Amino acid sequence: MAAASQRIAEVVSAQAMPFVAADVGGTHARVGLVRQLAAGSTAVAVERYDKYVCADFQNLGVLLNQFLRTIGDVPVNRVAIACAGVAVGDVLVNANLPWPVSLAEIRHEIGVDDVNLVNDFEAVACATHCLRASECVLLPGDPEAAAAGPTLIVGPGTGLGAAVRIPGRHRPIVLATEAGQAALAPGNELEVEILRLLMRQSGHVSNESTLSGPGLVQLYNALCSIRRVQPTLRAPAAITEAALSAHDALAIETLHLFCAWLGSVVGDLALSCGARGGVHLAGGILPHIRQFLLHSNFSARFLAKGVVRPMLERIPVSLIDHGQLGVIGAACWLLDARAESG
């Protein structure tokens, strides 16, 4: 009896202890110290939050160590890391991070054995129940008409991520995907011409080849080639800034093309997973171009799917603007995983 009471006390103590949750992208890493609000709940409070530039650190373990130093003497015995890519054994397969990721190396670097890895958009999907209406901007669709069904979470950043949240009897099931690596489909003659140019560089042109930060640069360079103009902008931020300030006609055309093509791809994904529960647009790029996106052809291309247009018209599409959502999602995913394992 005493041993059982001690085990229960240890479990309660472990639940009460704060832990670290991180959202690691190709450009930035967001790290938080989080605490579970109640036993058996996935609700968490973020007690400390910092954002880092990945390229400033030798590896992910060094970056996490920097955060652990900032929180002082707070004991941490669990870490949840949301990161783009696919885990193969102990190593993460990802083309967009500035360094390789190995869980064994991270455990050694930070001195914490309980380190866990989840796909970044799977983590965001786990946290969508935390969203408030004020954190979303509605695009096409009627939220009242949305049926209970799968919800698609998709968005461009350093890559293009996507996950599907499927309602379950006891708790939702979240399916991580590699939709960013699926083949890019053109929707008009200009996009066909751009695809031809990109295929000269690579045998496989993926969705994220154009619908990501690096993809935005590829789109811009392709348009410069087609228009026979010398490119002058080299970075995604420079292109979006020139477009938003209306200083560069080619940058404006590039961003319009980006938004329209994204609408087409998101529409395809919504059809593929039967996203009757809605679509959440996330990622690092879209919040910065919110007004541009709203006045672009995103919605028109999302809906332009022939006879199934009426179905898509009933799917609400919202833009997520929540900087800590990936951190919260990583924490929710870990708590869910622990609850399932008993």
In the chain, what percentage of residues exceed pLDDT 90? 65
Domain 132-321 has CATH 3.40.50.10860: no
Instruction: Supply 116's token pair.
Output: 């866990």
pLDDT digits (tens, 9 = 90+) for 133-145: 666 777 766 666 6
Instruction: Give the residue-averaged pLDDT of 98-116.
Output: 92
Domains of the chain by residue range: 2-126+324-341, 132-321
Instruction: Give the residue-averaged pLDDT of 198-214.
Output: 95
Q: What angle do CA 94, 96, 98 make, to 5 degrees?
A: 100
| Distance, C-alpha 21 to centroid of its chain | 15
Range of lowest pLDDT (49-63, 133-147, 210-224, 291-305) = 133-147
Q: Nearest CA to 254 among 224, 290, 287?
A: 224
Q: Transcribe 135-183 into DSSP letters.
A: GEEE-SS-TTTPPSS-EEEEEESSSEEEEEEE--SSS-EEEE--GGGSB
pLDDT digits (tens, 9 = 90+) for 36-60: 988 777 789 999 999 999 999 999 9
pLDDT digits (tens, 9 = 90+) for 225-267: 999 999 999 999 999 999 999 989 999 999 999 999 999 999 9
First to last CA, the chain: 20
- The superfamily CATH assigns to domain 2-126+324-341 is ATPase, nucleotide binding domain (3.30.420.40)
Which position has the higher pLDDT, 94 or 75? 75
